[in-house]
Amino acid sequence: MEFCGLFAGNGGIPAIPLLHKELWLMIKEKVREAINAQINAELYSSYLYLSMSAYCESINLRGFANWMKVQAQEELVHAAKFFAYVNTRGGRVLLREIAGPPTEWKSPLDAFKHVLEHEIKVTGLINDLVKLAVNENDPATQTFLQWFVNEQVEEEESANDAIQKLKLAGETGPGLFMIDRELATRVFVMPPAGGAGAAAPNAPAP
């Protein structure tokens, strides 16, 4: 997957004809600032999952590492969708410094617990964006955000499923390696315009 390709074009958002762009009601400043902050949060999420992937590689769990790497790719897609939306609405994207993520976890279970905690935090950020769009009377942004609302339900479910499997199978022995093989089947699929990344069939949902 090419990084630049994610941010090229408009990410499936309908383009504004140049002739009429001066008539376009630009995105409201509060909404633009909040989405800029969300772009940073999504990029940090990708950075976090890449760090988790590196951790899993270091303990020879390449299936776990693969799952985290795919997760990191999907977070880049999320950032690209927000990036395209701000530009399409006539706003300016201003990128911020990305904080460094943790680099060590106690165990694979500890890492997945962190995934769930992080996704719950992101859900809160998305919900705050929805509330802001409602308060700012911005129905276009409300509609745009609905995909992310639904996505976060899947994100939390996916992380929790992995946690429950690890608790049942244990963190050593055959059970752990069975889960590792399962997670190795997850494949990132670049979405069609307007869509979202998806895991290949039989792989854990994103």
Q: Determine the pLDDT at residue 16.
A: 44
CATH, residue 178: 1.20.1260.10
Judge whether 182 lies within some domain.
yes
**What integer pLDDT is reported at residue 64 of this predicted model?**
98
SS3 for 205?
coil
Tokens representing residue 30 in the block: 């509060």
Interacting residues of 78 by C-beta distance below 8 A, sequence separation 6+: 42, 45, 148, 151
Residues facing 198 on adjacent strands: 189
Number of separate domains in the chain = 1
Whether 73 is covered by a domain: the verdict is yes
Q: What is the 3-state secondary structure (H, E, C) of 52-111?
A: HHHHHHHCCCHHHHHHHHHHHHHHHHHHHHHHHHHHHCCCCCCCCCCCCCCCCCCCHHHH
Structural domain range at position 143: 28-192
Residue 187 domain flag: yes
- Asked whether residue 119 is domain-assigned, the answer is yes
Question: Is 54 part of any domain?
Answer: yes
Report the distance separating Cα 89 and Cα 136, nearest Å: 15
CA–CA gap between residue 24 and residue 17 (Å, rounded): 10
Residue at 66 is within a domain: yes
- Residue 71 covered by a domain: yes
Q: CA-to-CA distance for 137 and 158, rounded, in angstroms?
A: 33
Q: Residue 124 falls within a domain, yes or no?
A: yes
Q: Which residues are CB-contacts of 132 (< 8 A; sequence separation ≥ 6)?
A: 30, 31, 34
What are the per-10-residue average pLDDT scores of the chain (206 residues)? 56 47 70 98 98 98 98 97 95 96 97 98 98 96 96 96 94 89 92 48 39
Tell me the three state secondary structure of residue 199.
strand
What is the pTM (predicted TM-score) of this model?
A: 0.83
Give the separation between CA 103 and CA 100, rounded to whole angstroms.
9
Residue 16: strand, helix, or coil? coil
